[in-house]
Amino acid sequence: MTQSKLNIVILAAGKGTRMKSNLPKVLHKLAGKPLLQHVIDSAKTLNPAKIVTVYGYGGDAVPSAMKHENMIWVEQKEQLGTGHAVMQVLPHLDKDAKTLILLGDVPLVNAEVCQQLLDETGALGLLTVKKDDPASYGRIVRDAQGAVQAITEFKDANETQRKINEVNTGIIAARNDKLIAWVSGLSNLNAQKEYYLTDIVAMAVHDVERVAAIVVTDEASVEGVNSKTDLAALERIYQLRVAQKLMQQGVTLADPHRIDVRGTLECGQDVSIDVGCVFEGEVTIGNGVEIGANCVIKNAHIASGTQIAAFTHIDDTKIGENNRIGPFARLRPGTVLQAEAHIGNFVELKNSQVDVGTKINHLSYVGDSEVGKNVNIGAGTITCNYDGANKFKTIIEDDVFVGSDTQLVAPVRLGRGATIGAGSTITKDAPAEQLTICRAKEQKSIAGWKRPQKIKK
């Protein structure tokens, strides 16, 4: 029977008691995104006609977290076993399709192996794995010829069966006409008083249907998360695989065990990344970029030749070629650097455009600003862009020199080639090509003064 249609069912109803958390287990994050999202992303690569996800613990928390996904949600109000979970989705299955059953807490599932399982499945197919310590997993019982006869849950297994090291992964493929019939006939007469989905294997054997079984060699791809220890172990496996791919592409990593990619990271040639760096969202790095230790970079584009020193934080920023940034610099959302700028230690930029050759080297804050070419901003300079209620812009034209310990009270413009004397508080526009200096000779207090109020839009 040729199948032209695929349904995917994801079981994601469990609490995860051993996680010791009120958050549903499938919403705990690996590499910056929920476990369930990893499974959904893999499922979508198989081009299913529909994805049906079973949720339960946490109420609407799981579907709410995944509201961006186009899928069918089915609630399992009582968690009475995996068979009971699949019972809930039967009305949504296409009778002329196959179904692939995935688990929401198995984030590294391999879509290519799942496709192989689908290709080999007639009525029923399983992914299995051999474990040195099979623990409490359901055992795969085979006959003398090696054909699968049943899956026996650990609590129901005898001593001989418990010695079997081939175990069930929980990932199953089945032809829907058979799956619907078998699941409808499940019983809960077992030690757990639950409806075991695995009982359909014995049903298939009874119906003289071949049970395809693929033994997975990549154990991590079928490993479930049941505790924070499991989660941490899979995180390191995932990150090491990412690191290996980066190194295969030519990236130099000081230590492949000490990098975290929580999104996508694209690198050019001759990129060097020191230890402890975290990359979040979408990050692209050009040729010859050097990144120092313990940097956090999120949703950023970094062009070729730029050097980023240790402990720099970059968020939603575009960085041109041959810039020097850090150490201990912070580039916040909306910042754009052109080429050959220097942004030094303990400098913070926010929503600012900085043109070619400008230097902001020490202990400064530049926010909501346009900074021209070849500007020098001295140590301790700040743009006072917020009056307590509203934000205003500072414009610094080309070739301006700002002395140390200067406050630029926005809105204000510094004309081309202007020089601002150190220690000035600038509240008015500074003319081009002139020295402007403003230092109070005495302290004043103004009675009756009131703070600005937010402007109504």
> How do the domains of the chain map onto residue ranges?
6-222, 228-436
Residue type, 433: E
28 noted as active-site residue: no
Q: pLDDT-based confidence at 3, cuts 50/70/90?
A: very low
Nearest to 406 by CA among 431, 377, 374, 385: 377
The 10s digit of each residue's pLDDT in 167-216 is: 999 999 999 999 999 999 999 998 888 999 999 999 999 999 999 999 99
Q: Which helix (DSSP H) or strand (DSSP E) does residue 417 occupy?
A: none
Question: In this predicted model, which residue has the larger pLDDT, 16 or 445?
Answer: 16
**Closest-CA residue to 88 (of 195, 244, 16, 234):** 195
Bridging pattern class, strands 6-12 and 50-55? parallel
Helix 111-120 with 35-44: angle, nearest 10 deg: 50
Q: Is the Cα torsion angle 132, 136, 140, 144 positive or negative in sign? A: positive
Query: Looking at residue 446, what is its pLDDT?
Result: 75
- Residue 287 sits at φ, ψ, to 5 deg, of -65, 140
Contact (CB, 8 A) for 379 and 397? no
Phi, psi of 336 (to 5 degrees): -130, 120
Residue 211 in tokens: 């049970």
How many Å separate Cα 392 from the centre of its chain?
Answer: 34
Which residue of the set 38, 206, 342, 362 is catalytic? 362
pTM of the model: 0.90
Q: Over pLDDT 90: what percentage of the chain?
A: 91
| Residue 93 confidence (pLDDT) | 97
Average pLDDT, the chain: 95
443 pLDDT band, cuts 50/70/90, is low
CATH code, 6-222: 3.90.550.10
Region of 178 (left: φ > 0; alpha: ψ -120 to 50; beta: rest) is alpha
Architecture of the domain delimited by 228-436: 3 Solenoid (2.160)
- Determine the Cα angle at 32 with ends 329 and 55, to 5°: 155
Q: Are 222 and 106 in contact (CB under 8 A)?
A: yes
pLDDT band at 4 (very low <50, low <70, confident <90, very high): low
Q: Which two tokens stand for residue 83?
A: 């068979």
> Looking at the predicted structure, is the pLDDT value of residue 54 above 80?
yes
